[in-house]
Amino acid sequence: MKTKTIRLPEEILRGISYRAEMEDIEESTAIRKLLREGLMEYATKLYRDGEISLGEAATLSGVSLRKMLETLLNKGIRGNVTLNQQRKSLEHAKKLK
């Protein structure tokens, strides 16, 4: 794990302290959890907007494809694959046989 030094505004520090206290964890753990959640939200938004694929969203979030798909479904976000992309995938799969 790498170490980064950043400056945080007071309102963010309060949020970190609050989470650490509520979950009885160290502030550094609270920061990592909040960052992971933020990355998941960011990846979800990009996927929802059609800017990245499911695989890219999973990689960005640091989770498996299955976990990413579950997260998207829980948020009511459906796939962003177009009909044309599906046809191309099917044609490619047929060629592999």
pLDDT tens digit sequence for 38-77 = 999 999 999 998 898 889 999 999 999 899 999 999 999 8
Residue type, 67: K
**Domain ranges (residues) in the chain:** 10-96
What does the pLDDT read at residue 68? 92
Residue type, 82: T
pLDDT tens digit sequence for 3-50 = 999 999 999 999 999 999 999 999 999 999 999 999 999 999 999 988
Q: What's the whole-model pTM score?
A: 0.76
Residue 61 near residue 39 (C-beta atoms within 8 A): yes
